Chains A and B, each alone.
Chain A
Amino acid sequence: MSGMHDCGGDAAAYALGALEPREADAFREHLRECAVCRDEVQALGAVVHALPMTPRQYEVPRGLRRKVLSQVREERRAPRRRSRLGLASPLRGVLAASVAAAAAVAVVLAGVGLSAGAPATVVRARTAGITGSAQLRVVRGHAELVVRHLTPPGRGRVYEVWLQSGTAAPVSASVLFTVDASGNADVGIPGGIRHVSAVLVTPEPLGGTAKPTHAPVIIAHLA
């Protein structure tokens, strides 16, 4: 940084990411040859790297944490999602991702569980206030919700799956889904369902909720 050597004075703008793309490319080329500019970029870059800590600090909204972590858990269970469905770009909305995740989980189940010849128990679900049909297919204590010709959850909403044990309050299965243009979806339900007495589905705001805010529109009794 000593000497303030001037090669157009671009080092600070470059460190701040404020050069136009072509200028930045040219400056990168220049950096290959100019040690003085490299030193200056390094010295000023250390300041720029510290700038993110200057804003006032806030706590992370709880809903955001839940959204991100449930998405990660879904992807953890369906590791082949991106390659199978070609989702190269990052999440553009919980809704789109949930559709993809639901479809992908179904792909995994079909490939591993159902097609392996294990007998599936089919539980017909009741729908309430919506059209379409739903059934739960259970194989070795794991369930897949299969819906056909179902009414979409509505603008800005998504279907959320809940698990109920006995008379206890339903708990979120951390699964959000919507349906395709035909009203169809195959939704894998994570974890086992051996102690679950009912699988419920409610329409909820995008991102889901911690507790159901709507009466169930799909009810599948297991016991």
Chain B
Amino acid sequence: MFNQRRNLRESADEDLMVLVRDGDARAFEVLFDRHAGPAFSLAYRMCGSRSRAEDVIQEAFLSLWRAGARYDPSRGSVRGWILSAVHNRAVDSFRRQAARPAGSLEEAGVIDRLASAELTEVEVERRADAERLRQALSELPDEQRKVVELSYFGGFTHQQISDMLSLPAGTVKGRMRLALTKLRLSLDEAGVIP
């Protein structure tokens, strides 16, 4: 039993997904432990509330358990698939409720409100890449960073952002394009994106 557990802990995500597809709860547990941290952090960032983030994570991981067969390795990593599911569920929940938590769009606001939460950094090996990306994001002009954050983390459409910021829709789209293009160049230079 111990060896089985150790083997699972050492297995690749894709191999674990095969087991999850067959209903292996222990393989699911390993995947949960491996990816729930970043998934929860993303949900936290988007929802701005611990309880809403927990709901999103619960839904996303149970969906993974129930629909593991839909994972297609040729379309990306397991982590990417999970984070994408979390993102989609958070956006869905915003749209269902037609309201976002007011402070969910500014990282500083979230951190202030969660001052007592556990702030332990996890997944040390990914910290450097994440830090480079954070740095690149922070170096964007405010107006460009804002449209990226509003759309990706806030789940707003370009039209909603346009209304919110009293800007023409074309301007919002243009800023999105400039922002992503600059981020792409920064990450290419840093070797974060091959």
**Docked complex: A32-90 residues within 8 A CB-CB of B:** 43-44, 46-61, 64-65, 67-69, 71-73, 75-76, 79, 82, 90
B180 touches A50 (CB 8 A): no
- Minimum CB–CB distance from A59 to chain B (whole Å) comes to 5
Please encode chain B, from 179 to 194, with 1 for each CB lying within 8 Å of some chain A CB and 0 for all others: 1110110010000110
Question: Which residues of chain B have a CB within 8 Å of any CB of chain A?
Answer: 23, 25, 28-29, 32-33, 36-38, 40-42, 44-45, 50, 54, 57-59, 61-63, 65-66, 76, 80, 83-84, 86-87, 91, 107, 111, 114, 117-123, 126-127, 129-130, 133-134, 137, 148, 151-153, 155-159, 161, 170, 172-174, 176-177, 179-181, 183-184, 187, 192-193
A17 touches B151 (CB 8 A): yes
B176 touches A55 (CB 8 A): no
B152 touches A16 (CB 8 A): yes
Residues of A within 8 A of B130 (CB): 53-54, 57
| A73 and B44 alpha carbons, distance in the complex (Å) | 26
| A3 and B60 alpha carbons, distance in the complex (Å) | 38
Residues of B within 8 A of A50 (CB): 129, 133, 187, 192-193
| A72 and B36 alpha carbons, distance in the complex (Å) | 15
A17 touches B91 (CB 8 A): yes
Residues of A within 8 A of B84 (CB): 49, 52
- Minimum CB–CB distance from B17 to chain A (whole Å) comes to 14
B41 touches A57 (CB 8 A): yes
Residues of A within 8 A of B87 (CB): 17, 52
| A104 and B170 alpha carbons, distance in the complex (Å) | 53
B193 touches A72 (CB 8 A): no
Closest B residue to A44 by beta carbon equals: B180
- Minimum CB–CB distance from A39 to chain B (whole Å) comes to 12
| A13 and B157 alpha carbons, distance in the complex (Å) | 8
B80 touches A49 (CB 8 A): yes
- Listed residue (B36, B58, B172, B183) with the most chain A CB atoms within 10 angstroms of its CB: B58
| A133 and B153 alpha carbons, distance in the complex (Å) | 50
Closest A residue to B117 by beta carbon equals: A58
Closest B residue to A76 by beta carbon equals: B25
A91 touches B36 (CB 8 A): no
The tally of residues in A whose CB lies under 8 Å from a CB in B reads 47
9 cross-chain CB contacts under 8 A: A1-B184, A17-B91, A44-B180, A53-B129, A55-B153, A57-B41, A58-B40, A58-B122, A91-B58
- Other A-B contacts than A12-B173, A13-B177, A48-B152, 8 sampled, CB-CB below 8 A, are A8-B173, A13-B173, A18-B158, A52-B42, A53-B38, A53-B130, A58-B122, A67-B54
- Minimum CB–CB distance from B93 to chain A (whole Å) comes to 11
Closest B residue to A64 by beta carbon equals: B54
**Residue in A43, A47, A91 whose beta carbon sits within 8 Å of that of B62 in the complex:** A91
Closest B residue to A51 by beta carbon equals: B152
A58 touches B37 (CB 8 A): yes
B40 touches A12 (CB 8 A): no
With A18-B158, A69-B32 known to touch, is A54 a contact of B133 (CB < 8 Å)?
A: yes
